Amino acid sequence: MKRLLLIRHAKSSWDYPMLADFDRPLNPRGRHDAPEMALRLQALLAPPFRMISSTAVRALTTAQLFAETFGLPESRIGVDARIYEATPGTLLHLVNTLDDADDQVLLFGHNPGFTDLAQLLADGPLPFIELPTCGIVMFGFEQARWQDIVPGAGQLLGYRYPKESPRQ
């Protein structure tokens, strides 16, 4: 079984209007939420897993904070520029080209692409309309190869978000 986790970047800052969208950093809430969400996720993850992030500052910083919480070096984070401002079709293509040696992949990226991809992959209704910042949606797939994953093939295994009770 393949498992895909879509993790939207943590809350970003709008304090620097001169920065391009791509370069926006995390705000204090985002810097707090990312390690907290990594701790919640850690209990659900069984190593090994691959981490791949958008190259945008806020997504890559979120991935780095997750890696730090997991006790992993930053070198374990792969980056893929296609994730930034990606359409669901581009993201599905990225999923279809993942290495079959990786049974679990954590993708760090952005909306609206991640919400749209989640809706595309889900085999039923999702518990959210829009994936919130630092929200995590986890899918399982019966397919043995990433290239065989198609729309509607994803079984929802979990959904976590910062404002939920940590005990859920």
What does the pLDDT read at residue 168?
46
Place of tokens 């498992």: 3
- 65-105 pLDDT, tens digit each: 999 999 999 999 999 999 999 999 999 999 999 999 999 99
- 14-70 pLDDT, tens digit each: 888 889 999 999 999 999 999 999 999 988 888 889 999 999 999 999 999 999 999
Instruction: Give which of 13, 11, 12, 8 is closest to 41, Cα–Cα.
Output: 8
| 98: Cβ contacts below 8 Å, ≥ 6 apart | 50, 105, 146
- 119-158 pLDDT, tens digit each: 999 999 999 999 999 999 999 999 999 999 999 999 999 9
